[in-house]
Structure 1
Amino acid sequence: MADYQTDQDGGAVRCEDGLMRPPWAARDPLLREYYDTEWGMPVHEEAGLFERLVLEGFQSGLSWLTILRKRPAFREAFAGFSPDAVAQFGDPDVARLMADQRIVRNRRKIDAAVGNARAVISLRAEGGLGELIWSHRPETTPQPRTMSEVPSRSPESEALARELKRRGFSFVGPVTVFALMEAIGVVDTHLVGSHRRGTSGIWSSAGLPGIAPGGRGQPG
Structure 2
Amino acid sequence: MEEKNRCSWCLSSDLYKEYHDQEWGKPVYDDATLFEFLLLETFQAGLSWITILNKRENFRKAFDNFDYKKIALYSDDKIQELLLNPGIIRNKLKVYSAVTNAQNFIKIQEEYGSFSKYIWGFTDGKPIDNKPKTLKDVTATTPLSDTISKDLKKRGFKFVGSTVVYAHMQATGMVNDHIESCWTRNQ
Q: TM-score range by the shorter chain?
A: over 0.9
State how far apart, in whole Å, the 2-side matches of 1:135 and 1:95 are.
Answer: 36
State how far apart, in whole Å, the 2-side matches of 1:18 and 1:95 are.
Answer: 43
- Aligned match of 1:103: 88
- Aligned match of 2:115: 129
Say whether 1:46 aligns with 2:34: no
Say whether 1:17 aligns with 2:2: yes
- Aligned match of 2:40: 55
Structure 1 segments of 4 or more deviating over 6 A? none
Which protein shows a greater Rg?
A: 1
- 1:115-194 aligned at under 5 Å gives the runs 115-127=100-112, 128-137=114-123, 140-194=128-182
For the residue of structure 2 that corresponds to 1:24, the secondary structure is: helix
State how far apart, in whole Å, the 1-side matches of 2:102 and 2:14 are.
Answer: 31
For the residue of structure 2 that corresponds to 1:61, the secondary structure is: coil
Higher normalized helix content (fraction of residues): 2
Query: Structure 1: where are the runs of 5+ without partners?
Result: 1-15, 200-220
State how far apart, in whole Å, the 2-side matches of 1:198 and 1:135 are.
Answer: 23
TM-score, normalised to structure 1, is: 0.80
* Residue identity matched to 1:69: N
State how far apart, in whole Å, the 1-side matches of 2:48 and 2:120 are.
Answer: 26
After alignment, is 174-183 or 129-138 more displaced? 129-138
User: Residue deviations 1:147-199, cap 9 Å, x none?
Assistant: 11101111111111111111121111111000000001101000001001122
State how far apart, in whole Å, the 2-side matches of 1:155 and 1:82 are.
Answer: 30
Deviation at 1:18, TM superposition (A): 4.3
RMSD of aligned Cα (Å): 1.4
* Residue identity matched to 1:17: E
Percentage identity across paired residues of the two chains:
38
Contact 1:188-1:198 at 8 Å conserved across structures: no
State how far apart, in whole Å, the 2-side matches of 1:130 and 1:169 are.
Answer: 16
* Residue identity matched to 1:195: W
Query: Which of the pair has the greater relative contact order for Cα pairs under 8 Å at 6+ separation?
Result: 2
- Of residues 7, 26, 41, the one that matches 2:11 is 26
Contact 1:40-1:183 at 8 Å conserved across structures: yes
